[in-house]
A and B are shown apart, each in its own frame.
Chain A
Amino acid sequence: MTGNGAARWRYNATKASTSGNWAGKNKNAANDRRAKAWARQVKDDLLNARGELKLGRRHRPDYLIFVLAVALAAFGLVIIYSISPGLYDGNEQTIRQEMIKRGLFLIAGITAFIIMSRIPLNFLKKWSPILFLIALLVCLALPLLGWANVPVATCALGACRWYNLGLFSVQPAEILKLCTVLFMAGYLSTRLAGGRLNSKSTIIEVTIVMMVSLAIIVGLQKDMGTGFALAAIFIFQLIMSGISWKRMAVVFGMLLALMIAMVIIAPHRIARILTFAQAGDADSDYHINQALIGLGSGGLTGRGLGQSVQAFGWLPEAVNDSIFAIIGETLGFVGAVTLIIVFAWLIMRMFNKTNYLDNMYLRLVVAGVVGWFASHVLLNIMAMTHLIPLTGITLPLVSSGGTSQVFVMAGLGIVFNISRYTSHRRIAMNDVNESKLAGGTNEDSVRGRWQRWAHNADRGGHKQIAR
């Protein structure tokens, strides 16, 4: 990013000499004015005259995202290879086949990453509503095809979660997560630009979309884990859009009501919750116990790579949802914490991009991917460490997830793509409450930002920032 020479943004560093010149006036009116100013600001940042995304100057993307993502995926492959004798009964041929398959998925993931890193962001924004609708339909079709006994739908225990496409399977919920990120970013940035983010209609529309998505995922596909991840994406993007906490409370209320309804409809979820309260469902009980035995027996430095015993049939889902327990068993506390640090590094690396993006759409896309990725990591590891009930969610990139891996890589590819358009300077926070700031013009305040932006728009010149 050094190639850009001067800072992209310049602004008047004058301290807020005008601070308080509206003090004593009608508070609501002042707030309203600032909200409008914020909306104008967002609108200005969002699109240019031709209705295209304002991207600003393009620079070198953040390759660390790619490096960390591939490192995590490669680490996952190593772990899976190390336990493959336990998974496939020591059958050399099966092990080779499975490892080739996983290698191909990693290549597919890298390919998706590269495609997304080069895809025009305008294209994504333009098509995201359609893509989202298609994704919803694909998800909706799955249980219907399952009921109709069409062989393409893979169902187990009354839940249809996979499309079987012969050579490989696709989990449409993963497509939905990616499309939700893109769609919600577009929707929320448009509402912001229209100054209607905190209007009732926003909440009603978001709630409807969210409820429909969750109803399909949790209600029809009975996939609690994906439901949580999806909800996390919605919530995270809403929070990062700067919607008022009052509105957020409504969303949380709706989600709580939905969860209660789900629990009533599908009693096995009650069992899940009861399991966590140390009573019930023998399968979940067994699963969590085996995970804890795996982690606990690993100790400080672990049994050593390839020395996992839990992988030999003791721990269910060793290669997917439970891979963290295997890592804890073989590499110990040191290995598990190192992995967590790498995850945190990647997540914060991506999340931090939001501070350097003025375009609200790009910001919300990054926030969505971060919410998606981080919720997977947290839900998976917290379930494995017995902090929350088991939900059946993969550890992104590391788990042998097939589609999950490909789509997560695609999401990271989009962030990588966006990382080309960051500014050098930290930009004002996207918190609408900040617009209420009385405190003058510093670069993190909307006023300062507005002034800066106005200045920039008027003069278009370059002036070194003095702080």
Chain B
Amino acid sequence: MKLMTKQSTGDKKPRFTRYQAMTGLFFLLLIIIVVQLFHIQIIDHKMYAAKADNMQTDKQTINAARGQIYVRDADGNIAPLVMNRTVYTLFADPSAIEDVDEIKELITSVVGDSLIQDGVAQLTDKDRQYVVLAKQLSQEQATTIKDANLYGLGLQADTQRVYPEGTLAAQVLGFVNNDGDGQYGVEQYYNDKLSGTPGVLQTITDVRKIPLTIGAKDISIPAQDGEDIVLSIDRNVQSQAEQVLAEGLQNAKATSGSIVVMDPQTGRVLAMANLPSYDPANYGEVESAAVYQNNVISNAYEPGSVMKLFTVGTGLDTGVITPESTFYNNSCIQVDDAEICNVTRSVSGQNMTPMQLLEYSLNTGAVWVLEQLGGGQINLAGRQKLYDYLVNNYRMNAPTGIDLANEVDSVIYKPDTPNGARVLYANMTFGQGEQLTMIQVISAFCAAINGGVYYQPTVMLGTLNEDGASITEQEPKVVAENVLKPDVSAELKEMLYQARYLGASGSSKDNGYYVGGKSGTAQKVDPNTGAYSDELTTGTYIGFGGDKTKTPKYAIMVRVDDAHNGGYSGSAAAQPIFDSMSNFMIQYEGVSK
């Protein structure tokens, strides 16, 4: 391989012999191969290893069965409210079908009319590999098709929620969307608990996805099924609540309303319903997503005169008034530039007790309590005291934390709000100006009448044990004690009983049971005018029932929006619903006189 040298002859000596040239070419190619191998096997090793893993490894998710949702009734029977059903999608691979007629015959006989005809027409199209023939087949239908063992047919199993009780407690339950995620209500709140943990099966497979024993990356984690939840909702109470609400709304010519029944001794919700509602099995067929909303927890509103009982409770608990205190009722009272008047004018010019304040629903009386809190006038100290009670005792400034999704917060203005705080707080004493959810009001109400214990409101009673019959109950959770002093709570309870018994509206007769309550009618802001309207009102009734031991057995709160049956909707529209429900509860709970 010396450089070419000129010979004396002028002839050239080749630089390489042919043997050398061929050897050189051979080794050059070998070097190229080795370099390329180095590139593939060393430099790009990670990339190819990842590709290999990706391709060779089959990772299957083993679905965890979603927990079912149960309710009880007074006899302790456990009934399913939400169950799972395995449904099958039947599909075909036309490119693999051997005998189209045989398949057509089979599926027609098994599936019948619900066959997807477009899919059947495509069975002869050999270019296709996936054609859906029918959806939502039952287990039996799927088994029949599977047993026929025809080449080219396949079944895809899917889990679907079914609702044996139909629309019962729909807004409490929520639904499960197509991705398997709980939406609204219990399904969303307890999504993690219900959905469980999917299992994983990861193996290296051959080209047909058959697992191999090669490789150390195999993973096998069994699925952890979701827990079955038992609600504190009582099936019969819920059913009755939905029924009386529907009837009541019809009577009141109203379309929208809510009812909630709670056990005041535990905070457990026994029934919770709203209208309009929807069918969770066909949740996609609603006109507006607003019906998914549970207004008991997701809608803050001005509760109106029912707030007077909390105002009176505050007055009694702080000691600025006693059940024997009186105030002079002049029907109207001037607060700054606002004149606040009573609806009931018949008792004008008389001295009134706190009980009568509630009986006649006297706005001036509520303002009087606020004045007493301030030592005789509406001042910051008095407002602060009322605010303290609303926030710290009645716990109305934050969501209750009930175990349902989409609970909203309240609106309570601070006592040092710069402009119009005096008028605002005067209004707040009788339930205008603050916005609260029903669950906040009834939770506080239960505390106010049960001796002062604020229980965490809940809808889940506990989880169903694997035996399917016993329940692991969660204990009622005391959030706060001494919301009101026990004797104050008893006084307030008695006043509510008497107020209802005497009844400003005169409609409630004492039938021997210990039932007390308070109505409220709040004017709503007309969205057209931006001012409080006399036409648009929200009627509320809140009350309790118990036996002569004066232990409240149940608390009920009813709300009716935009009633059109005349009168004040609190007493004219909401109270009849309370009455029906209360009567039912007396029967159902076996409350003695």
Contacts and interface: CB of A to CB of B under 8 A. Distances in A.
Contacts of A347: 26
Interface stretch (A20-28, A92-100, A120-128): A20-28
B52 A430 contact: no
Nearest to A291: B40
B212 A296 contact: no
B56 A340 contact: no
B48 interface: yes
B207 to A, nearest CB: 3
Interface in A164-218: none
A285 interface: no
A251 interface: no
B49 A297 contact: yes
B208 interface: yes
A17 to B, nearest CB: 13
B474 interface: no
Interface stretch (B10-18, B69-77, B314-322, B529-537): B10-18
A300 B44 CA distance: 11
21 contacts: A19-B8, A23-B10, A27-B11, A86-B206, A293-B52, A296-B47, A297-B45, A299-B41, A300-B41, A300-B45, A309-B214, A312-B214, A313-B206, A314-B55, A314-B56, A314-B207, A328-B37, A333-B42, A344-B27, A385-B33, A386-B40
Given A236-B22, A381-B33, A437-B7, 12 more contacts: A23-B9, A296-B41, A296-B52, A297-B51, A299-B45, A300-B41, A336-B41, A340-B30, A344-B27, A344-B30, A355-B19, A385-B36
Across the A-B interface, give the 3 residue pairs with the lowest CB-CB distance, nearest first.
A296-B48, A313-B207, A312-B206
Interface in B200-230: 204-208, 212, 214-215
A333 B42 CA distance: 7
A307 B38 contact: no
Chain A contact-residue range equals 35 or more
Interface string A277-311: 00000000000000011111111100000011110
Nearest to B41: A333
A8 interface: no
Nearest to A31: B11
B11 A437 contact: yes
Given A300-B45, A433-B14, A437-B13, A348 B33 contact: no
A310 B207 CA distance: 9
Interface string A233-254: 0001001101000000000000
Contacts of B18: 239-240, 242, 429-431
A387 B41 contact: no
B52 A374 contact: no
Interface string A417-456: 0000000000001110110111100001000000000000
A12 interface: no
A345 to B, nearest CB: 11
Contacts of B208: 313
A27 B206 CA distance: 70
Main secondary structure of the interface of B (DSSP, over half): helix
B553 to A, nearest CB: 69
Contacts of A437: 7, 11, 13
Nearest to B215: A309
Nearest to A334: B41
Interface residues of B, number: 43
Given A309-B215, A328-B41, A333-B41, A296 B29 contact: no
Given A295-B48, A438-B9, A337 B37 contact: yes
B49 A351 contact: no
Nearest to A436: B11
Nearest to B49: A297
Interface of B: 7-14, 17-19, 22-23, 26-27, 29-30, 32-34, 36-38, 40-42, 44-45, 47-49, 51-52, 55-56, 204-208, 212, 214-215
A91 B44 CA distance: 35
A354 interface: yes
A307 B17 contact: no
Contacts, number: 148
Tell me which of B10, B26, B52, B205 has the highest count of chain A C-beta atoms within 10 A of its own C-beta.
B52
Contacts of A431: 14, 17-18
A292 B52 CA distance: 10
A271 interface: no
A141 to B, nearest CB: 35
A332 interface: yes
A355 B38 CA distance: 33
Contact of A296 (B10, B27, B45, B207): B45
B11 A429 contact: no
A74 interface: no
Contact of B40 (A30, A313, A340, A385): A385
Interface of A: 19-20, 22-23, 27, 30, 86, 236, 239-240, 242, 292-300, 307-310, 312-314, 328, 332-333, 336-337, 340, 344, 347-348, 351, 354-355, 374, 378, 381-382, 385-387, 429-431, 433-434, 436-439, 444
A438 to B, nearest CB: 4
A351 B24 CA distance: 12
A53 B26 CA distance: 30
A30 B33 CA distance: 44
Nearest to A371: B22
A236 B19 CA distance: 10
A386 B13 CA distance: 38
A295 B12 contact: no
Nearest to A307: B214
Contacts of B49: 296-297, 299
A225 to B, nearest CB: 17
A313 B30 CA distance: 29
Nearest to A242: B18
B44 to A, nearest CB: 5
Tell me which of A294, A296, A437 has the highest count of chain B C-beta atoms within 10 A of its own C-beta.
A296
Contacts of A374: 26
A249 to B, nearest CB: 15
Contacts of A297: 45, 48-49, 51-52
Nearest to B39: A385
Nearest to A298: B41
B48 A385 contact: no
Contact of A438 (B8, B45, B55, B215): B8
Tell me which of A19, A314, A348 has the highest count of chain B C-beta atoms within 10 A of its own C-beta.
A314
A152 B329 CA distance: 120
A296 B14 contact: no
Given A292-B40, A328-B41, A387-B32, A312 B212 contact: yes
A196 B32 CA distance: 38
B42 A299 contact: yes
A344 B204 CA distance: 36
Contacts of A382: 29, 32-33
Contact of B22 (A239, A300, A344, A378): A239
Contact of A385 (B11, B37, B204): B37
Contacts of A351: 19, 22-23, 26
Contact of B13 (A22, A86, A344, A439): A439
Contacts of A30: 9
A296 B17 contact: no
Contacts of B33: 340, 378, 381-382, 385, 387
A378 B26 CA distance: 9
A239 B21 CA distance: 10
A376 to B, nearest CB: 13
B11 A337 contact: no
Contacts of B51: 293, 296-297
Given A348-B23, A355-B19, A336 B11 contact: no
B10 A27 contact: yes
B44 A296 contact: yes
Contact of B9 (A22, A337, A444): A22
Contacts of A434: 14, 17
Contacts of A337: 34, 37
B436 to A, nearest CB: 65
A333 B37 contact: yes
